[in-house]
């Protein structure tokens, strides 16, 4: 069979002719690439194989130690020999002129050599194959410094700073204080508190270690706390001044005193206060408590007080003016506050001469001056007069009536005030001119000082009674006494016994009341006169009405050592007991102002009383 003769187009023939050459070129290229890759793989594999237990070339440390080609053990040995930072690097802590120097090793700095070598060995081995190849090439060309692995145990540095702080720097804040010992003020100085801020200092140290400083000066961070009280010297000076010497009170007239406040007493008066200021600081102030000197002065004031004395007058019935029979006397009283104020100044006086305080007095004028006129006081006429009698009185009783009467002559009672018999009577004693006479005490008539004073009180009562003045206090005698019944009968007597029993009445008018008292020894009469301005008062008396009469008891005999056996002396007389009623009605003009006021007197029965010599068989009491 023959092959057919085929004819192809020209273009086709050309393509067919070219195709074998193109394929061959492609195959050659692929083959070359594969050969190159294989060659490179052989080279890389060989490179890694050569350095499989070594650090790649180009790896070093920041300290300049070239670790190229070293095994782990070689690198560890090289680093151990070359790394001396812990011993060579020093850190100096400063505070003022004080310094403390320590090596990095002493402060807890150390190189972790094995970790550093591990880091060096891992260079060029930590990524993919391609990354590792590229990194190895870069290391070979440019080098690679490995950051060393350094450990820092801060507890070492903390302990060192703690010891420095507590031994050399730290101290507590101390306020200046003020104390008194043995009457001397002590003022120890204040102190600024200091405290090292260890954490802040450690922070600075850490920064220096991290940048591997080899020589560093580190100023310790110290916090200072100022005291609240900086100084107390001025206050101490005040205290010592106050306690430098006693302080003396004296009277300019030299009548009494002096009185000395000793240093121990002055120390008790001192008041020390802490005062806080706007800026938060504080200081001490020294002052004096005036309570003690004030109490002392109030205690002695009554003895130094002179009571003012009112003027005494008599009324001249002809001229209708007052005549002075005793001038008024200005009194004085201790001005406690003014004296205390001077004491407060004297206690801080440095000169001993200035530590004497003169007592300050002020005048107390008499309430009724001797310059007062009848018109000013409203004393224009006699408003009432009353007389009692003392027939049969002993000489001593007469003396007592006379002495007591003189105390009331010329006195003036202000309007709307109460007259007190005991107030004007004063002290009843032998020293004031009284004599011993018979007085009633309880159920006995005995010898005592002042017997007869009740004659004066009874006269005062009857004058006030008939003058229409309100009776504030009146006490009858224990038994009926004949001296007081003549003219008026029983029921208008009054007894006094200072300070327990008093006779008092009120001057309830708007005018002053002048009392004049007159004794008529020859007539055995005592007269009281009241001068004022008449209120047109009229008194109507009813009684006396005597009820419940009881007989006198049996005689009483008492021993008297001044009498001999067989001698006898009667000292009182028997009288029956009774209740006596007297009433008064007081009219002012035609109006009743006191309606049938009752005065009740209860009199106990009274026995004859005798004094006999000791041993008398009749003694029964």
CATH for 343: 3.10.20.800
Can you tell me the distance from the alpha carbon of 155 to that of 164, in angstroms, rounded to the nearest whole number? 14
pLDDT band of residue 77 (cuts 50, 70, 90) is confident
Q: Residue 147, SS3?
A: coil
Strand residues in 501-576 grouped as ranges (E)? 504-507, 513-520, 525-532, 537-550, 556-559, 568-572
Encoded tokens for 374? 């009848």
Can you tell me the distance from the alpha carbon of 239 to that of 126, in angstroms, rounded to the nearest whole number? 84
Same structural domain for residues 356 and 398? no
Same structural domain for residues 506 and 560? yes
Q: Which residue did the predictor score with more confidence, 1 or 531?
A: 531
Q: Which has the closest alpha carbon to 212: 91, 45, 336?
A: 91
Is residue 11 pLDDT above 60, yes or no? no
Encoded tokens for 585? 């009605």
Same structural domain for residues 565 and 479? yes
Instruction: Tally helices (H) and strands (E) across the chain.
Output: 15, 35
Note whether residue 425 is domain-resident.
yes
Overall average pLDDT of the 22-44 stretch: 68
Same structural domain for residues 467 and 336? no
Overall average pLDDT of the 248-259 stretch: 93
Note whether residue 125 is domain-resident.
no
Overall average pLDDT of the 104-121 stretch: 86
Same structural domain for residues 558 and 456? yes
Encoded tokens for 588? 């002012």
Same structural domain for residues 473 and 601? yes
Overall average pLDDT of the 315-328 stretch: 96
Same structural domain for residues 333 and 389? no
Tens-digit pLDDT profile for residues 169-228: 999 999 999 888 988 999 899 999 999 999 999 999 999 988 888 899 999 999 999 999
For residues 590 and 584, the answer to whether their CB atoms sit within 8 Å is no
Residues of the domain holding 11: 1-48
Overall average pLDDT of the 257-276 stretch: 93
Can you tell me the distance from the alpha carbon of 342 to that of 349, in angstroms, rounded to the nearest whole number? 11
Note whether residue 37 is domain-resident.
yes
Q: Which has the closest alpha carbon to 235: 193, 270, 202?
A: 270
Query: What pLDDT was estimated at residue 14?
Result: 43
Encoded tokens for 575? 């009288």
Note whether residue 81 is domain-resident.
no
Contacts of 280 (CB under 8 A, 6+ apart): 228
Note whether residue 136 is domain-resident.
no
pLDDT band of residue 301 (cuts 50, 70, 90) is very high
Query: Which range has the worst mean pLDDT, 150-154, 313-317, 403-407?
Result: 150-154
Note whether residue 29 is domain-resident.
yes
For residues 366 and 328, the answer to whether their CB atoms sit within 8 Å is yes
pLDDT band of residue 10 (cuts 50, 70, 90) is very low
Domain count across the chain: 3
Strand residues in 444-590 grouped as ranges (E)? 444-449, 471-473, 504-507, 513-520, 525-532, 537-550, 556-559, 568-572, 577-588
Q: Which residue did the predictor score with more confidence, 7 or 419?
A: 419
Query: What pLDDT was estimated at residue 8?
Result: 41
Note whether residue 187 is domain-resident.
no
Is residue 42 pLDDT above 80, yes or no? no
Same structural domain for residues 354 and 501? no
Encoded tokens for 598? 């009752």
Is residue 16 pLDDT above 50, yes or no? no
Is residue 13 pLDDT above 50, yes or no? no
Query: What pLDDT was estimated at residue 48?
Result: 59
Overall average pLDDT of the 357-379 stretch: 96
Encoded tokens for 487? 């003219």
Tens-digit pLDDT profile for residues 529-542: 999 999 999 999 99
Same structural domain for residues 343 and 401? no
Can you tell me the distance from the alpha carbon of 543 to that of 282, in angstroms, rounded to the nearest whole number? 85
Note whether residue 145 is domain-resident.
no
Is residue 15 pLDDT above 80, yes or no? no
Same structural domain for residues 531 and 564? yes
Same structural domain for residues 406 and 357? no
Q: Which has the closest alpha carbon to 68: 90, 50, 91, 46?
A: 50
Same structural domain for residues 335 and 400? no
């Amino acid at each position: 069979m023959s092959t057919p003769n085929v004819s192809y187009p020209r273009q086709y023939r050309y393509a067919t002719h070219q195709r074998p050459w193109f394929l061959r070129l492609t195959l050659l290229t692929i083959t070359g690439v594969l050969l190159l890759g294989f060659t490179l793989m052989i080279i890389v594999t060989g490179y890694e194989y050569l350095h499989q237990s070594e650090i790649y070339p180009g790896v070093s440390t920041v300290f300049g130690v070239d670790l190229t080609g070293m095994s782990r053990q070689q690198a560890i040995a090289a680093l151990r020999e070359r790394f001396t930072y812990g011993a060579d690097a020093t850190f100096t802590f400063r505070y003022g002129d004080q310094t403390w120097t320590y090596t990095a090793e002493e402060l807890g700095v150390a190189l972790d050599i094995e970790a550093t070598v591990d880091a060096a060995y891992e260079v060029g081995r930590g990524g993919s194959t391609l990354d590792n190849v590229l990194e190895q090439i870069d290391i070979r060309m440019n080098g690679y410094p490995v950051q060393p692995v350094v450990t820092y145990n801060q507890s070492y540095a903390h302990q060192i700073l703690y010891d420095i702080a507590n031994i050399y720097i730290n101290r507590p804040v101390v306020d200046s204080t003020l104390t008194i010992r043995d009457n001397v003020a002590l003022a120890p100085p204040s102190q600024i508190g200091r405290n090292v801020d260890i954490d802040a200092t450690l922070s600075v140290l850490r920064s220096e270690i991290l940048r591997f400083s080899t020589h560093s000066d580190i100023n310790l961070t110290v916090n200072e706390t100022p005291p609240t009280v900086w100084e107390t010297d001025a206050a101490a000076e005040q205290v010592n001044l106050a306690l430098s010497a006693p302080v003396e009170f004296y009277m300019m007239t030299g009548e009494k005193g002096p009185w000395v406040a000793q240093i121990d007493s002055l120390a008790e008066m001192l008041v020390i206060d802490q005062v806080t200021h706007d800026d938060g600081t504080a200081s001490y102030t020294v002052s004096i408590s005036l309570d003690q000197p004030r109490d002392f002065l109030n205690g002695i004031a009554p003895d130094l007080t002179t009571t003012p004395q009112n003027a005494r007058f008599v009324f001249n019935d002809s001229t209708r003016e007052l005549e002075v029979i005793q001038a008024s006397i200005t009194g004085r009283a201790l001005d406690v506050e003014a004296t205390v104020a001077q004491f407060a100044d004297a206690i801080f006086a440095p000169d001993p001469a200035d530590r004497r305080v003169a007592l300050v007095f002020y005048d107390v004028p008499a309430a009724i001056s001797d310059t007062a006129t009848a018109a000013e006081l409203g004393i224009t006429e006699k408003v009432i007069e009353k007389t009692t009698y003392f027939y049969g009185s002993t000489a001593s009783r007469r003396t007592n009536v006379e002495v007591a009467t003189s105390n009331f002559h010329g006195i003036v009672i202000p309007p709307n005030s109460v007259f007190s018999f005991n107030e004007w009577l004063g002290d009843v004693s032998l020293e004031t001119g009284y004599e011993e006479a018979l007085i009633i005490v309880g159920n006995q008539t005995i010898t005592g000082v002042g017997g007869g004073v009740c004659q004066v009180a009874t006269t005062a009562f009857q004058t006030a009674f008939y003058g229409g003045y309100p009776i504030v206090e009146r006490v009858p005698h224990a038994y009926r006494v004949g001296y007081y019944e003549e003219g008026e009968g029983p029921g208008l007597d009054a007894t006094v016994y200072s300070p327990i029993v008093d006779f008092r009445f009120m001057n309830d008018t708007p005018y002053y009341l002048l009392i004049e008292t007159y004794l008529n020894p020859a007539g055995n009469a005592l007269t009281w006169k009241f001068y004022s301005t008449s209120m047109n008062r009229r008194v109507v008396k009813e009684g006396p009405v005597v009820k419940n009469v009881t007989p006198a008891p049996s005689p009483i005999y008492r021993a008297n050592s001044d009498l001999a056996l067989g001698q006898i002396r009667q000292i009182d007389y028997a009288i029956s007991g009774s209740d006596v009623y007297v009433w008064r009605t007081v009219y002012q003009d035609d109006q009743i102002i006191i309606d049938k006021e009752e005065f009740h007197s209860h009199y106990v029965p009274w026995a004859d009383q005798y004094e006999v010599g000791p041993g008398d068989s009749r003694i029964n009491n």
